[in-house]
Amino acid sequence: MDAIPAGALILGVKLFLVVNVLLIIAAYLVYFERKISAWMQSRVGPNRVGPLGLFQSFADVFKLYTKEDIVPALVDKKYHMIAPVISIGISMATYAVIPFGEYYVDGVNLMAVAPGISIGLLYLLAMSSVGVYGITLAGWSSNNKYSLLGGLRSAAQMISYELSMGLALIGALMISGSLDLLEIVKSQSGGKWNLFFQPIGFIIFLVAAFAETNRAPFDLPEAEPELVGGYHTEYSGMKFGLFYLAEYINMLTASCMVTVIYLGGWDIPFLYENLAKAGISQGNPLLALIQFGVFFGKLIPLLFFFIWVRWSLPRFRYDQLMDLGWKVMLPLALANILLTGIVMTILQYFGIL
């Protein structure tokens, strides 16, 4: 029997780690959301299962696994089953191109699942667009008018805000000059984060990320007052759990994109210069751990912000959601591209760029 190639073995280990780590992080994001919302509302939150309630997420997953999978008689059973798998699968597939640091072995960056993809940003946008198919299929296959409306709302919401999100990124791309996420991070080294040069694009992208992930105040596809539960009304057990986990993984994906594109990834001004003086330079495993820690340290405030907004702002009306996307964010995104182009042209004319 032929030996397994080293590259395939490394890829398999990466995939195993990413899938399992994502599921654990998503489960604990649910725990922290419940604790943070309880803190904001002067409640206690989960505190019984395990120390400080830390095992509550495992109890919730076990409960969902053991609950009966109720499938209504008139649903399209094939697509009803496939829809949550699409949602969770697409949400995990986005992590193939996100770099969490730089640690090279034989010229391969081990801090990314599939390194060296020159169109990583396009891949992320494509995956985020395809993810809506899971929700739309769930609404259509359920043979329920509330579910169908939720699926249609999600599709309309994705179209409206995907445009603004894509246009908001163009300003950052004009500055970095690359679609490779690793090159985008490198272009921001030394504290030259795109957040400082593209504040309008950053705000537009962040707002669009809320809409793309169906997080409040943009959770119209599952609005309880008018749609019962929206696209997942006819789901129970672990099928519902997959939709739930996909939402939190998408929230983590959006935070990763903000970190990579606008917050310099694992960059902190002067940190790596001082580490190099201490003998901790490229190729040192400790440096890779520090980079991953810095990256994750930037994610935590963003994830807190997602949770904080959900428990602070009321849900938009549907007309308000569409007005914001088409009448405010889209013109602002176009104006940001024009302004970025003008400023870059002036700076190039005077030899500053």
Contact call for residues 230 and 222 (beta carbons, < 8 A): yes
Number of domains in the chain: 1
The DSSP string of 181-194 is HHHHHHTTGGG--H
Q: How far is CA 228 from CA 23, 182, 231, 352, in A?
A: 27, 43, 9, 57
Give residues with Cβ within 8 angstroms of 16, minimum separation 6: none
How far is Cα of residue 353 from the mean position of the Cα atoms in its chain?
A: 32
**Helix, strand or coil, per DSSP, at residue 75:** coil
1 domain residue, yes or no: no
186 domain residue, yes or no: yes
The DSSP string of 32-49 is HHHHHHHHHTT---S-SS
210 domain residue, yes or no: yes
What is residue 6's predicted lDDT score, i.e. its pLDDT? 66
Contact call for residues 195 and 135 (beta carbons, < 8 A): no
291 domain residue, yes or no: yes
Residue 109 sits at φ, ψ, to 5 deg, of -75, 110
Burial profile 265-281: b = 16 or more Cβ within 10 angstroms, e = fewer: bbbeeeebeebeeeeee
Domain with 167, as residue range(s), is: 6-349
What the block records as the tokens of 20 is: 């399992």
Contact call for residues 36 and 308 (beta carbons, < 8 A): yes
What is residue 1's predicted lDDT score, i.e. its pLDDT? 45
Q: Which of 88, 54, 232 is nearest to 148 (CA)?
A: 232
Q: Would you tell me how many other CB atoms lie within 10 Å of the CB of residue 262?
A: 26
Q: What Rg, from alpha-carbon coordinates, does the chain have?
A: 21
Q: Are strands 104-105 and 108-109 parallel, antiparallel or unpaired?
A: antiparallel
How far is Cα of residue 153 from the mean position of the Cα atoms in its chain?
A: 20
Contact call for residues 317 and 219 (beta carbons, < 8 A): no
What the block records as the tokens of 247 is: 């939402």
Can you give the pTM of this predicted structure? 0.91
205 domain residue, yes or no: yes
> Block means of pLDDT (10 residues each) for the chain, length 353 residues?
64 82 89 92 90 90 85 85 89 89 80 81 88 86 86 85 91 91 91 92 93 83 75 85 87 94 90 82 84 93 93 86 91 95 90 77
296 domain residue, yes or no: yes
101 domain residue, yes or no: yes
